[in-house]
Structure 1
Amino acid sequence: MSLAENQVISNQLQSTVVGKTIVKVIANQNPHTFVWFATEPQYAFAAAEVSHRQAEQYEELLTGKRVEDSQVHLGSYGVYNFLYVGDRALMFSLPTRYYAVGEKPPKRHQLYLIFDDGSSLALCGSLGGAIYLFRVDEKGLAVGYPPPDAPSVLSDDFSESFFLDLIKNTDLEKLKPAKTVKCFLATNNRIPGLDNSILHEILWEAQVNPKSDMAALGEAGYKRLYAAIKKVFPAVIEAGGLDTWKDIFGKPGVYAAKVSRNTLGKPCGRCGEPIVKEPHLGGVVYYCPKCQPIHKNKKERLYDET
């Protein structure tokens, strides 16, 4: 999940569940090998049997407690939504669905919370994820939650100079599993919360191909990437998400993705060339072959340096 998606979820949770009291908790109804429960940091990412025992404590720790706040925090593990409940922070990185009074709840879920007004919240981790319930320290952060290695792209600390230094301090010729733009931007948590879905929009905005060598862009190209990052993230959040996502109400966002499964084969919104889809790094990438040509020779810069 991208930082933008997490922020949209947090904003919606702020207006739907904050201030409500949890009256019933169902944890780990449908056990999943790659969904982890933990009440203390030492149990994070524990083996299945340990995780399942941890889940048994969630009912006691959450029932009767009031949801005080909803936030998003970055850490070295990635991006998490935080619901502050009593003296605990419920940290999660799973698809989230809110059900108003009278709506039919899902049959399968990893954590299901019912509130005092009859509404409910379900976390459903079909692809896996973490649902931690850590104590909160004096700073309002989950105890043991490792700090991020980079600032949020939404903050002033994520400046152009920071971004250029990040590139400068990386050996681009030794990037693994590839030397490409996608590898640099969307792997190893270099930029927390920049995932594959929003990556495509950023690269379309910057007119950069995800399969280009990162070193081929040059400083002018890097600056265009930075400008696109700072433009796209706030715009997606403001629009309530991409139209390829679903929010906590089960509705898609209103930010129309330029390069996605929804636009595959359709004319590029900038030049009219059909959008293509290709495999890359174990997944797929979408791009415009005309606006975003692939560059592999670092001696021939994609952009002039001036």
Structure 2
Amino acid sequence: MIEAPEALCLAEQLNRTIKGKRVTDVIVKNTPHRFTFFYGDTDEYEKRLSGKILKRACAHGGMVEIDAEEVRLVYTDGVNLRYYGPEEKLPAKHQLLVGFEDQSCLVASVRMYGGIWCFPTGDFEGSLKPYYESAKYKPQVMTDAFDISYFMGLFKGKEQEKKSIKAFLATEQMIPGLGNGVLQDILYHARIHPRSKVSSLSFGQKERLFDAIKLVLREMYCLGGRNTETDLFGKPGGYIPHLSKATLGSRCLSCGEMILKENYMGGSIYYCPGCQKYE
């Protein structure tokens, strides 16, 4: 699942690669996928996109949105985007292929689950609207708008205090584009256990958490995303997570304790028991 830094990298690559291209071909649902969520009638996608010139792409949290004149094309965080040049062999399986005049293509395929939404500008409705608008209009975590004052404000309310820090950070679109894929390293740098209750955190710990969010996401962006994800051209990123299944059982470089894994909240958490004490 792509996170905010990876979505930003993809948007920048799209602007350098497909901006200004005219759409000539649209293939929807080439490969059936149960957990691909489209917007409205997919038979309308070809009519909406054909002949359109792609304009600016931008990232909203873990989403990538492309302006195609009067139409918006949105790919959510579970979608793998690949650009193929005129002479490259196209994959056999995909959920949306957009072809251009020069015979190049933008191909979207869904892994576990993901959304591919094509809709007239300003006309996004339905149950997914709050999810889309939250990602689009909340302060973006990698911008100056997401500052320490805004971050501290997220902790207000008794409902937030009851949550674990993992639940607080990575659920309910609290911080769009910050999910389990980056959460582990953020908490490791902040020296906070994933199970720690929000109510137990001191002001200093919250400040340290804010700094860790900015540090990890910036480093991930500068290195082109994680090494477990690929960019628009299929190249893996250069960021190697400190905590992941690949480092499970290895020694923490800071304190020497062994990296552990637990099942928690329907997923996995990785942590260092020496650096991230649970009290």
Query: Given the two structures, how large is their TM-score scaled by the length of structure 2?
Result: 0.89
Matches within 5 A, 1:202-213: 202-213=186-197
The answer (yes or no) to whether the contact 1:258–1:269 under 8 Å persists in 2 is no
Q: Does 1:81 align with 2:82?
A: no
In 2, Cα distance between equivalents of 1:170 and 1:18: 46
Overall identity of the aligned pairs, in %: 37
List per-residue Cα deviations over 1:229-272 (Å, max 9, x = no partner): 12221221121101222222222111121111222222223223
2:74 to 82, 85, 91: 91
Q: CA deviation at 1:102?
A: 2.4
In 1, Cα distance between equivalents of 2:71 and 2:156: 40
Tell me the residue number matched to 1:301: none
Q: CA deviation at 1:88?
A: 0.6
Q: CA deviation at 1:156?
A: 2.4
Q: Does 1:200 align with 2:188?
A: no
Tell me the residue number matched to 2:264: 280
Change (3 A) 1:286 1:114: same
Q: CA deviation at 1:143?
A: 5.0
Tell me the residue number matched to 2:33: 32
List per-residue Cα deviations over 1:56-111 (Å, max 9, x = no partner): 1212221222211111135xxxx421111131110111121222232221111110
Query: RMSD between aligned alpha carbons?
Result: 1.9
The answer (yes or no) to whether the contact 2:187–2:212 under 8 Å persists in 1 is yes
Q: CA deviation at 1:124?
A: 0.7
Q: Does 1:119 align with 2:104?
A: yes
Q: Report SS of the residue matched to 1:8.
A: helix
Matches within 5 A, 1:230-241: 230-241=214-225
The answer (yes or no) to whether the contact 2:227–2:239 under 8 Å persists in 1 is yes
Matched AA of 1:181: I
Q: CA deviation at 1:214?
A: 2.2
Q: Does 1:2 align with 2:3?
A: yes
Unaligned runs of 5+ in 1: 44-53, 296-306
Query: Given the two structures, how large is their TM-score scaled by the length of structure 1?
Result: 0.81
In 2, Cα distance between equivalents of 1:159 and 1:249: 33
Tell me the residue number matched to 1:51: none
Tell me the residue number matched to 2:274: 290
2:159 to 168, 171, 178: 171
Q: Report SS of the residue matched to 1:171.
A: helix
The answer (yes or no) to whether the contact 2:155–2:161 under 8 Å persists in 1 is no
2:57 to 62, 70, 76: 70
In 2, Cα distance between equivalents of 1:244 and 1:222: 29
Q: Report SS of the residue matched to 2:155.
A: helix
Q: CA deviation at 1:190?
A: 1.1
Q: Which deviates further from its counterpart, 13-22 or 264-273?
A: 264-273
Unaligned runs of 5+ in 2: none
In 2, Cα distance between equivalents of 1:16 and 1:276: 41
Q: Does 1:253 align with 2:254?
A: no
In 2, Cα distance between equivalents of 1:276 and 1:252: 26
In 1, Cα distance between equivalents of 2:100 and 2:147: 41
In 2, Cα distance between equivalents of 1:102 and 1:294: 54
Aligned pair count? 269
In 1, Cα distance between equivalents of 2:71 and 2:217: 29
Tell me the residue number matched to 1:61: 48
In 1, Cα distance between equivalents of 2:18 and 2:267: 35
Q: Which deviates further from its counterpart, 180-189 or 24-33?
A: 24-33
